[in-house]
């Protein structure tokens, strides 16, 4: 089964609102990454947070990591129509180098 599971599976909000997506995982990790996918093709890296970090910012993105709960959240502030996409979290388990992805959250920003 997939290591990461995103929640919710789909999210629809109005432009300008904030969007929050969550990711849970099962095993100890080295780091957690968030990716974005438009139109079912290649994914684009957004942000990486290491297991010893609790929060990280990049522009309108804020990522938190709670290793005690094995969960992470991605917050997109002041959403724009162009943020409409699928968002995936990915983890690499300690001792295993492969990167495992969750099922993704489909985000729709309504103008």
Min CB(64)–other proteins separation in Å: 19
What is the DSSP code (8-state) at residue 82? G
Q: How far is the CB of 39 from other proteins (least distance, A)?
A: 10
Q: How far is the CB of 107 from other proteins (least distance, A)?
A: 14
| Residues near other proteins, by CB under 8 A | 2, 30-31, 33, 35, 40-45, 48, 50, 88, 92, 96-104
Q: Cβ closer to other proteins: 79 or 86?
A: 86
Strands 105-110 and 10-14: parallel
In terms of CB distance, is 25 or 88 closer to other proteins?
88
Of 95 and 111, which CB lies nearer to other proteins in the complex structure? 95
Alpha carbon distance 6, 22 (integer Å): 5
Q: Which is nearer to other proteins, 25 or 101 (CB)?
A: 101
For the bound state, the minimum distance from the C-beta of residue 71 to other proteins, rounded and expressed in Å, comes to 17
DSSP state of 81: G
C-alpha distances in angstroms, 19 versus 42, 82, 87?
Answer: 22, 13, 11
Cβ neighbours for 49, distance < 8 A, ≥ 6 positions apart: 31, 32, 33, 55, 56, 63, 64, 65, 72
């Amino acid at each position: 089964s997939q290591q990461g599971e995103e929640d919710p599976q789909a999210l629809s909000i109005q432009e300008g609102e904030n969007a929050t997506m969550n990711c849970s995982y099962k095993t100890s990790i080295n780091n957690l990454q968030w990716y974005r996918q438009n139109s079912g093709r290649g994914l684009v890296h957004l942000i990486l947070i290491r297991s010893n970090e609790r929060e990280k910012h990049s522009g309108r993105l804020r990522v938190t990591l709670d290793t005690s709960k094995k969960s992470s959240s991605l917050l997109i502030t002041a959403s724009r129509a162009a943020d409409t996409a699928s968002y995936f979290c990915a983890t690499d388990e300690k001792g295993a180098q492969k990167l495992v992805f969750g099922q993704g959250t489909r985000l729709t920003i309504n103008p």
